[in-house]
Amino acid sequence: MADGKIYITATFNNTLVTVTDNAGNTLAWGSAGASGFKGARRATPFAATTAVEATARKALAAGIKEVEVYLKGPGSGREAGLRAIKAAGMRMSLIADVTPMPHNGPRAQKRRRV
């Protein structure tokens, strides 16, 4: 059984990381923006790696060694976040993609034109 859970939300603009215990209480959190990145640099895999590493260090200090990882969103920080968790020395017992997928709910927004 895992000591805790890591939730990585990778959007197109930022990467958010939350570490909880098994009861769901937040032990540590971080983001690419909180790690000092601004603007378009927040959306890079390097910013995600930095955010996850900083949050993982806080979690290790709280005694978390084995985690379940839940990824959400289409951003570039997904794989970079997994590599950062591995590099921090945590064991991953589960990697799950919890990106919400509509089962044809309401009408989608009109197409973005750039």
What domain range is 45 assigned to? 4-97
For residue 30, being part of any structural domain is answered with yes
Cα distances (angstroms) measured from residue 55 to each of 27, 37, 105, 106, 110? 9, 15, 35, 36, 37
C-alpha 111/C-alpha 101 separation (Å) is: 18
For residue 107, being part of any structural domain is answered with no
Predicted TM-score (pTM) of the model is: 0.88
For residue 46, being part of any structural domain is answered with yes
Q: Is 21 exposed, middle or buried (0-12, 13-18, 19+ CB in 10 A)?
A: middle
For residue 79, being part of any structural domain is answered with yes
3-class secondary structure, 24: coil
For residue 108, being part of any structural domain is answered with no
For residue 51, being part of any structural domain is answered with yes
Check which CATH number belongs to the domain holding 29 and give it. 3.30.420.80
How confident is the model over 48-95, as pLDDT tens digits? 999 999 999 999 999 999 999 999 999 898 999 999 999 999 999 999
Structural domain tally of the chain? 1
C-alpha 51/C-alpha 84 separation (Å) is: 9
Q: What is the mean pLDDT of residues 94-105?
A: 92
